[in-house]
């Protein structure tokens, strides 16, 4: 291992993004060193990762799980030091030995550790879109103020980044960009009859046609809330407005997004639907490194289809656009209500179509405030979760 190897901290190492990151990192032992791994409660999986990758540090959000992990590692003769709780994750994301932070914790739980990385001036590989959805203005200000690097990992945002001119930060119009074309697969229910959506099961919702993802993100893809959150994220990442972002349904998931220029050119980033591609791009940037992904066979793809999204079929996408236009903490409320509703659906306490209803009612109830501080953001998040939980109780059912 080279002395110049970059120290990598993976927040959420046992999830899909974390596992793929470890795969890419392990292909380049001279460039990267696994410095820290974190998880929520999955002791056995993190234990195995620690034995394989031998990070100096690990952390678990759950204190009891951290104690179990520490005991197992000591019994195995591992030198990995185990931290616990939110403070443990923040410490590992910001410590001097960490150069790159993969922010892969799903949902609002990833916000504070990712903010800690921003305040410490790290290169942040952002897979946790909620950090921007919840606190976009605040988060981006911390990135600028602390000279941190922010590189997107979502396949769509990474594709946009690759298709953008180098000077896009000065403004898309000044850089010759006309609009962003954000692609979406349409999920598993793109052609399902609307009257059948009331009875779809969690198993059907998480069966994504193209991507291997966690349950929560898979449900978001099925409702297209995931795409709505990505629209919000793209506005902050690329300093633009929702009017400049057009969602395009592309069932093959081969074109990961496009950028349209004033001269009529449209640049597209293409590749097999494998998250190791954007992970390798962000790890190596500005270099290109091996990701382990098979080259795209355009003859096997054979065709590329495009459709306009139907807001009647996908009301969550429409609400995301509206929340972004409303501004302030509206997107914070949107995200919190969605997390509560999706969890209820996965636990068979809410019908799939009621996810959008819970979000709509929560947005109507919680007053929008200016995103003036992190305290305001966290308060709006907490209020929205209480309200959404109450709506779930009122309209809950066995899905």
Do residues 15 and 106 lie in contact, with contact meaning Cβ atoms separated by under 8 Å?
yes
CA atoms within 13 A on the CB side of 340: 26
Do residues 102 and 21 lie in contact, with contact meaning Cβ atoms separated by under 8 Å?
yes
Give the tens place of pLDDT for each residue, 114-146: 999 999 999 999 998 888 998 899 999 999 999
Q: Which residue bears the tokens 């620690």? A: 50
Do residues 11 and 36 lie in contact, with contact meaning Cβ atoms separated by under 8 Å?
no
Do residues 127 and 151 lie in contact, with contact meaning Cβ atoms separated by under 8 Å?
no
Give the tens place of pLDDT for each residue, 4-46: 899 999 999 999 999 999 999 999 999 999 999 999 999 999 9
d(CA 230, CA 52): 34
* Domain 6-152: CATH superfamily, name plus number: NAD(P)-binding Rossmann-like Domain (3.40.50.720)
User: For the stretch 119-130, what's the b/e string if a residue is b when 16 or more beta carbons lie within 10 angstroms of its beta carbon?
Assistant: bbebbbbbbbbb
How distant, in Å, are the alpha carbons of 97, 100, 125, 134 from that of 8? Answer: 9, 5, 10, 25
Give the tens place of pLDDT for each residue, 274-314: 999 999 999 999 999 999 999 999 999 999 999 999 999 99
d(CA 212, CA 15): 11
Give the tens place of pLDDT for each residue, 231-267: 999 999 999 999 999 999 999 999 999 999 999 999 9
- State the Cα torsion 105-111-112-114 to the nearest 10°: 70
pTM across the whole model: 0.92
Ordered by start, the domain boundaries in the chain are 6-152
d(CA 209, CA 335): 24
User: Which phi and psi (to 5°) does residue 162 adopt?
Assistant: -70, -30
């Amino acid at each position: 291992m080279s002395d110049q190897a970059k120290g990598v901290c993976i927040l959420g190492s046992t999830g899909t993004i974390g596992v793929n990151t470890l795969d890419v990192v392990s292909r380049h032992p001279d460039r990267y060193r696994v410095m820290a791994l974190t998880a929520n409660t999955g002791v056995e999986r993190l234990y195995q990762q620690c034995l394989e990758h031998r990070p100096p540090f690990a952390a678990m959000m759950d204190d009891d799980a951290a104690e179990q992990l520490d005991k197992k590692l000591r019994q195995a003769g591992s030198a990995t030091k185990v931290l616990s709780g939110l403070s443990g994750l923040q410490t590992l994301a910001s410590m001097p030995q960490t150069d790159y932070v993969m922010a892969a914790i799903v949902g609002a739980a990833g916000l504070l550790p990712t903010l800690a990385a921003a305040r410490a001036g790290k290169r942040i590989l952002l897979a946790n879109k909620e950090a921007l959805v919840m606190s976009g203005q605040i988060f981006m200000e911390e990135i600028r103020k602390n000279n941190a690097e922010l590189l997107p990992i979502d396949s769509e945002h990474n594709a946009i980044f690759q298709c953008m001119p180098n000077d896009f930060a000065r403004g898309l119009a000044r850089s010759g960009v006309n609009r962003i074309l954000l692609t979406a697969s349409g999920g598993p229910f793109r052609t399902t009859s609307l009257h059948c959506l009331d009875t779809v099961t969690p198993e059907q919702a998480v069966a994504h046609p193209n991507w291997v993802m966690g349950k929560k993100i898979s449900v978001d893809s099925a409702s297209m809330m995931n795409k709505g959150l990505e629209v919000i994220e793209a506005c902050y990442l690329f300093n633009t407005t929702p009017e400049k972002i057009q969602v395009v349904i592309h069932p093959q998931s081969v074109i990961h997004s496009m950028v349209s220029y004033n001269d009529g050119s449209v640049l597209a980033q293409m590749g097999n639907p494998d998250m190791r591609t954007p992970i390798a791009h962000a790890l190596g940037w500005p270099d290109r490194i091996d990701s382990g992904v098979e080259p795209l066979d355009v003859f096997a793809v054979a065709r590329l289809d495009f459709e306009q999204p139907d807001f009647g079929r996908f009301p969550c996408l429409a609400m995301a656009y509206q929340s972004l236009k409303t501004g302030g903490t509206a997107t914070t409320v949107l995200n919190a209500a969605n997390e509560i509703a999706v969890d209820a659906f996965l636990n068979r306490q809410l019908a799939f179509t009621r996810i959008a209803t819970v979000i709509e009612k929560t947005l109507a109830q919680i007053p929008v405030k200016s995103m003036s501080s992190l305290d305001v953001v966290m308060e709006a998040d907490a209020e929205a979760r209480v309200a959404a939980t109450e709506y779930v109780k009122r309209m809950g059912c066995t899905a």
